[in-house]
Amino acid sequence: MFIIEMTTYESDFVIKNTKRTGAYDIRTFDINHDLSLFVYYFDDYIHLKLRRYGEKPTTISDWELIQGINFIRPDLNLNDVVDVYLDEEDEQVHIKLMKLTSKRNE
């Protein structure tokens, strides 16, 4: 499995969605050219949004596969899960993680 950080290639998306969501930072990743992972950093938590490319629907199993990697970035502890839910309408899995630090890294 390979993970490519795409944040610098998607700067327009990051700028637009940082303003829209209120997140102070957003990172984007491509996983095996099968999934996109969006990481939204908020003051109190981290929100992950996982979505499959193409026709195949996104499922909770996709999250379990990612969680099994257990390391994407040092500031993401994939085992500190607060909540996981599947948005079937938008075909996305949403994950809320606890933050490792209590404040922004400014």
Q: Please compute the mean of the pLDDT values over residues 62-83 and round it to a whole number.
A: 82
Residues 6 or more apart whose Cβ sits within 8 Å of residue 16: none
Nearest to 77 by CA among 62, 92, 67, 86: 67
57 vs 62: CA distance, rounded Å: 10
> Is 3.10.20.30 the CATH number for 3-98?
no
| Segment 29-59, tens digit of pLDDT | 999 999 999 999 999 999 999 999 988 899 9
Q: Which residues have C-beta within 8 Å of that of residue 89, sequence separation ≥ 6?
A: none
Name the pTM for this structure: 0.85
In terms of DSSP H, where are the helices of the chain? Answer: 11-21, 60-69
Least confident interval from 44-48, 55-59, 66-70, 75-79: 66-70
